[in-house]
A and B are shown apart, each in its own frame.
Chain A
Amino acid sequence: MLCALSAVFTTVAIVAILVYESYSFFEHVSIVDFLTDNQWTPLFEDAHYGIMPLVSGTLTISFVALAFAIPVGTTAAIYLSEFASHKTRETVKPILELLAGVPTIAFGYFALLLVTPLLQWVFPDLPTFNMLGPGIVIGIMVVPYIASVAEDAMRAVPMSMREGSYAMGATRFQTAMRVVTPAAISGIIAAYILAISRAIGETMVVAIAAGQQPNLTFNPMDSAATITAYIVQVAMGDLPHGSIGYQSIFAAGLVLMLMTLFFNVLGHFTRKKFREAY
């Protein structure tokens, strides 16, 4: 019983600490400034506390990641579930799990020293620190996640529905597209939403390869900072406990927590609401 309550305790502690420190932060900074100011420079002489540049960076990178991961992940899921032989599936699924277990810092190296130089070869104007490279790498990171959750959803569609479709003379592609995918759509969308929440919370890739300049921009070719990268940047420096910079990372963390919580809850309800009963 006490053990089980430790989970609840962790959550309560997370919320309490974030809210408590953010509260002292908002005693210095008004919420209106926080939400509308378009500069984020808490460590400068002329301090501005607008969270928007960090949010725009976070959203742009997540968007790039999803633009890559959704097509690739979904195709891979459909292929694994409807086309691949039993043997292929049994070989590929564990490898997907392995890929999901690779530490994110290794992907950061990958983004900075392999993907970005490759992209610079295609787009010569691209700066060393940009959002495109890390975005794509985060995309690669969440592909296994989307593929395996979506594949599970498709596997759960009863065989009789496929057999019905085949009996009407449909090909595997037609069955996959018009029967299996619509039937499994709730699980597939839930996979996307959980992937978004993952991309938003991803830290190291962005901290390494996106530069750490908060920029209010949605152009993936620019360098930018995300909420997570800002927290890392501040934590690396030596900020005194209780200073406004120290409190600002908790305020930023609170925003991050709320964003991921929103997507997690959304994912949870999508899965529940659209579940088709067979």
Chain B
Amino acid sequence: MSESKTASTLKENNSMRALIKRAKFNDHLFGTIGLLCIILILTTLLVLFVDLVVDGFPQLTNGDFYSNFPSRHAARAGLLSALVGSSLVMLVTFISAVPIGVGAAIYLEEYAPKNWLTEIIEVNVTNLAAVPSIIYGLLALGLFVYTFDFGNSILTAGLTLGLLTLPIVIVATRESIRAIPVAIREAAYAVGATKGQVVSQHVVKYSAGGILTGVIIGMARAIGETAPVITIGALTFIAFLPEAPISATPPFLNFEWLTSGFTVLPIQMFSWLSRPSSAFHVNAAAAGAIIILVTLLMNAVAIRMRYNIRKKIKW
């Protein structure tokens, strides 16, 4: 009697052990697969960058590449007009997107009453962030190029990319404003500060790091953005520089560059890439390596900053 009982317990124990063993095996199996997935993703980033650098190496190390205009001869073609174009477009983007974005976020967080209008604006901002970038290109084509008659100019491109970065700046600013505890505001009010003083001396000041992070990420995205700029009809063969924005003679500033034709880094890369000759692909790779390097650096700085802010601030 007792012997058969022991046997059945033993059998149960064994099947239980097998079960546990299987569960543990699955556990380790999944752990390995998961790790492989992560490694796969990380390798992709590395391969992408290394591939561009290796393919573009002859041009990346060629000093003339940075000071030549585009050319029909692959070996003599350079990035100069694209580098200048990208910087000027970014300047317009920055000037148009940052004040409006930060203003909108401050209004939404600090001033906006809770009503249907605010609700609509909020839903809108979230949706705008998810609109494909090429749609912004179509908007710019219809609105800036033909309705306002800005043409294929630096101004059009800058404003288009400004609209594109606007939701990013708004969302980032709102998040960093929201992280400021109410107690700070209450303390400021308690010593008699007005609403304007609270916002400018406390809210904006403490959230500046977060806002800057959002601005950098938005700008990094705008630099690499190709589709909307192609849509507005950006020329791909530009062998001249726009008028310099700052001159040594009065009136020192001129705005003629705003209406100038232009090319930017990603467009230049696209035009080289769409040629069948592989000599131009070397140029494309070099341009790609530069774009990636710039965006990665900007993003890395932004992520690092956010990390530091999170660590430093203890309310």
Which residue numbers of A lie inside 8 Å of B, CB to CB?
A: 1-8, 10-11, 13-14, 17-18, 20-21, 72, 75-76, 78-80, 83-84, 88, 92, 94-99, 101-110, 112-114, 140, 143-144, 147, 170-174, 176, 194, 197-198, 200-204, 207-208, 228, 231-232, 235-236, 238, 241, 249-250, 253, 256-257, 260-261, 264, 268
Contact = CB atoms under 8 A, between A and B. Distances in A.
A56 B230 CA distance: 24
B132 A228 contact: yes
Contacts of A8: 120-121, 124
Contacts of A78: 30, 34
A72 B30 CA distance: 12
Interface of B: 23-24, 26-27, 29-31, 33-35, 37-38, 40-42, 44-45, 47-48, 51-52, 55, 99-101, 103-104, 107-108, 111-112, 120-121, 124-128, 130-139, 141-143, 146, 163, 166-167, 170, 217, 220-221, 223-227, 230-233, 236, 266, 269-270, 273-274, 281, 284-285, 288, 291-292, 295-296, 299-300, 303, 307
A225 to B, nearest CB: 13
A134 to B, nearest CB: 13
A80 B281 CA distance: 37
B299 A98 contact: yes
A98 B45 contact: yes
B119 to A, nearest CB: 11
A203 B227 contact: yes
14 contacts: A1-B107, A3-B103, A7-B121, A17-B142, A18-B142, A75-B30, A79-B31, A83-B31, A104-B227, A208-B270, A236-B236, A253-B134, A253-B135, A260-B131
A8 B143 CA distance: 15
B41 A147 contact: yes
Given A103-B291, A260-B131, A75 B48 contact: no
Contacts of A10: 128, 139, 163, 166
Contacts of A75: 30, 33-34, 37
B55 A1 contact: no
A72 B40 CA distance: 9
A197 B129 CA distance: 12
A98 B303 contact: yes
A68 to B, nearest CB: 11
A112 B214 CA distance: 32
B305 to A, nearest CB: 11
Contacts of A228: 132, 134, 227
A76 B35 CA distance: 7
A106 B52 contact: yes
A206 B24 CA distance: 43
Contacts of B221: 101
A105 B229 CA distance: 12
Identify the interface centre among B127, B131, B138, B274: most chain A CB within 10 Å of its CB: B138
B45 A79 contact: no
- Interface of chain B, main secondary structure: helix
B132 A92 contact: no
B225 A3 contact: no
A92 B42 contact: yes
A232 B230 contact: yes
B198 to A, nearest CB: 18
Given A235-B137, A250-B142, A256-B135, A101 B227 contact: no
A7 B130 contact: no
A113 B48 CA distance: 11
A76 B300 contact: no
A6 B101 CA distance: 9
Contacts of B135: 14, 18, 201, 253, 256-257
Contacts of A200: 132
Given A109-B288, A114-B51, A140-B41, 12 more contacts: A1-B107, A7-B104, A10-B128, A75-B30, A76-B41, A78-B30, A109-B284, A194-B130, A203-B132, A207-B227, A235-B232, A260-B132
A101 B124 CA distance: 23
A78 B33 CA distance: 11
Identify the interface centre among B30, B291, B299: most chain A CB within 10 Å of its CB: B30
